[in-house]
Amino acid sequence: MNRNTVRFFLLILGLLFAGDRPSLQAQYMTNVTLNKVTYLTYEAVEATVTISNRSGADIVMGGPSGQSWLAFEAIAPSGNAVPAMQLLADDNMIFKSGTTISKKVLISNLYTFSEYGTYAVSASIYHPPSQQYYGSNRARAVFTDAKPFWEQSYGVPVDQPNAGQIRRYTLSTLRDTERTWLYVRVLEDKTKLKLTTFSLGSCILVADPQITVDSANKLHVLFMAVPHIYAHVIIDTQGKLEKRRYFKELETNRPKLVVQNDQSIDVQGGESYDPAAVAAKPKARSVAQRPPGL
């Protein structure tokens, strides 16, 4: 048998096996998206995994040896895989043929995004009948840092966790392709260890943010979130968002932070504004004009 004949038979066998074997990649159609593209280092990152069952059969979802049926991989800017914490096992579920499910995961609880540069994040879904994981696309997350435009140290009050520790609030802005984001970060003042980092939302810098720390050492920030609408946020000494409310300016009467007689901080001017209530009205303001996340 000559070489050409051997090649011909090998080609025929390959086609026969390909026709008899179902496409493994067709078992699931999986897509991963992130809540945004650009982040500050150590910021929370949320991934949304969407999975469509294209296998032609109902599947009892469950991972091998009690593990989760969902796994993630993150590739750092250096090209190395980021060590991950193990996902908790999900409850078994019936994944109906032809249906689609969606799952949100705070992957910053699994990985530490501490390097500057672009990370690639992908998901893998376990297919019990074939006993294999099948991968998704790779979503891009760009991590950077920003110099604070405001900062102030404070002491943690005696009735709270880590009482007496000296910490520091910092505020910075980060511009992406569409808008400017206002960020708060809480650090240990001495070691500069970053305790928490998160966005307060989009910010329009037509009016400078108003910032103060009250008598309980809580941080107050008043900033323009969308045209004519201001957000007042309160951050507690543990670095958690305690309160958020909105105000609408009235012609030249803009909201502003004021110190009350009892030394508490409040907003004076404008009028209280509820984005959810306005959106429910037939002739409400466009959703695109509402503060992000509301």
Tens-level pLDDT at each residue, the chain (294 residues):
554 443 434 333 343 333 333 334 568 899 999 999 999 988 999 999 999 999 889 999 988 887 889 989 999 999 998 876 667 666 778 999 999 999 999 998 888 888 899 999 999 998 898 888 889 999 999 999 999 999 999 999 998 999 999 999 999 999 887 889 999 999 999 999 999 999 999 999 988 999 999 999 999 999 999 999 999 999 999 999 999 999 999 988 999 999 988 889 999 999 999 988 776 666 555 555 556 555
Place of tokens 């503060």: 291
Q: How much is the pLDDT for 178?
A: 81
pTM: 0.76
Whether the CB-CB separation of 277 and 265 falls below 8 Å is answered with no
Whether the CB-CB separation of 142 and 37 falls below 8 Å is answered with yes
What residues pair up with 95 in beta bridges, in sequence order? 59
Structural domains in the chain plus CATH codes? 23-143 (2.60.40.3880), 147-288 (no CATH)
Whether the CB-CB separation of 208 and 191 falls below 8 Å is answered with no
Among residues 172, 176, 121, 117, the alpha carbon closest in space to that of 143 is found at 117
Whether the CB-CB separation of 147 and 172 falls below 8 Å is answered with yes
Q: How much is the pLDDT for 76?
A: 92
